[in-house]
Amino acid sequence: MIQRTVVYTLMTTATVGLVTALVLVMLGYRFNRESNTIQQGGLVQFISRPNGATITVGQAELANKTPNKVTINPGSYEVSMQREGYLPWTKQVSVQAGRVLWLNYAQLVPETIETSSVATLGAATQAVASPNSRYFAYTTSADPFVLRVIDTRSSQYETTNVSLSETSESGAQNGVTIREWSSDSQRMLLSRKRTNGTAWLYTEATKSNTEVNLSSTYDVSIRTAMFDPRSHDRVIIQTTDGDVRIIDTANQSISTVLVNRVDSFSLIDSKDIVYVRTNLAKQRKVGYLTLGKTVGRELPISDTTVSRVAGVTYFATDYIAITTKTRMVVYRMNDLPSSDSDTPITASIVSSQSIDAAPTNLSWQGNGRFSVVEYAGGFNTFDNELLNYSSTKFSSKQNGKLRWLDGYHAYYFSAKALQVVEFDGANSYSINQTRGLAALLTNDGKYIYSVAKQGDTFKLLRSQMILN
């Protein structure tokens, strides 16, 4: 009887010990040989494009290639992913106990990038890539009132000429400016200067004479406009008086004034307009308007020197970033109820950092992971996941907004090349030795297309990023 009890006790103890060990392993606990202690590690996910890259963490080469995931003891490491025929991808990372580090954006760049000209575009003056990474819309100095749309997926790189009837009116000046594609890559917003102001146009991307002159049709003077994310038939406008209204082109209607005295605005996903407005006391306040509602609400952000605002929902939590002349501040909101609600709202500061120069643009990238503030000489990025702040300098001064190939890779044209850089300034590469207007990365990652100048004319260039 005593022997049986001892056996049962030993079996129970062994089972409990095994289960405990398995639970600890599942939670990322490992034995640290350097400190002779059991320590909780962090899970690191490795994904490269193309896959099949060898992974090195510190001095240790992992047994499996990308894609791969391992639990690593907390600490700072240099990570490298390498594959034959490609330049090595490297980054200094910090692994934290109990957290997941996603290294899922490594773009391996060929040691030699083959670039070929696939179409001649003429005297291009501007170009904008579509959100689905398929089209470029561009104009030329030869006919500034004709919009051209080239399809990078067609075997012959077919071009559609979209004639804009409104631009033939008397008083039109200097052609059209491409402002924005709709998220479905089927419609565009354009503007053109006239002797009596700026006219805004809404048009389909591949059909001639389909445009609507929003300014004259709805008798409004528009400062800026963007597509309503709920429907591509609707356009959210800000008038020159600072009024925010919504135009419904399908119903040929315009809303009443939703918010007035607005200085700038942007969207929080497809649910809210977030804005900076000057109140009657001439104080600048941050507020938001839930789409579909007619009453806006101020946010508990007290900085009255705010110049720009951008919001995002990241893992079911709302974040608001603001800029002043010298700082970027990121707030975490406990919740953003409908703007016509009186439910209390609290805001806590996640990050407050100085910026390198006067801001020119503020946005969220990487599906809400990165808050990016731009200025003439570069950009600053706050990583909402790792709580890191970084500064990136351009090799030459840029005009206009920073452009992105995807949520992790920005691009710009230096004096002599198309440059691609990660969100934090790491792994910067020259793709082709030309000066251009726009670029896109195909969804399969195989090519970067760019509208760039070769000789005396602009061409569509294709740079191969994944080797055969």
Q: What is the pLDDT along the chain (468 residues), one digit of tens a residue?
A: 566 665 555 555 555 444 444 434 444 455 555 554 556 799 999 999 999 999 999 999 999 999 999 999 999 999 999 999 999 999 999 999 999 999 999 999 999 999 999 999 999 999 999 999 999 999 999 888 889 999 999 989 999 999 887 665 555 567 899 999 999 999 999 999 887 789 999 999 988 888 899 999 999 999 999 999 999 999 999 999 999 999 999 999 999 999 999 999 999 999 999 999 998 888 899 999 999 999 999 999 977 789 999 999 999 999 999 999 999 999 999 889 999 999 999 999 999 999 989 999 999 999 999 999 999 889 999 999 989 999 999 877 665 678 999 999 999 998 888 999 999 999 999 999 888 999 999 999 999 999 999 888 999 999 999 998
Residue 23's pLDDT is 39
Residue 242's pLDDT is 96
Structural domains in the chain? 2-107 (2.60.40.1120), 115-464 (2.130.10.10)
Residue 189's pLDDT is 97
Residue 424's pLDDT is 95
Q: How far is CA 118 from CA 121, 139, 143, 154, 155, in A?
A: 10, 18, 22, 11, 10
Residue 419's pLDDT is 93
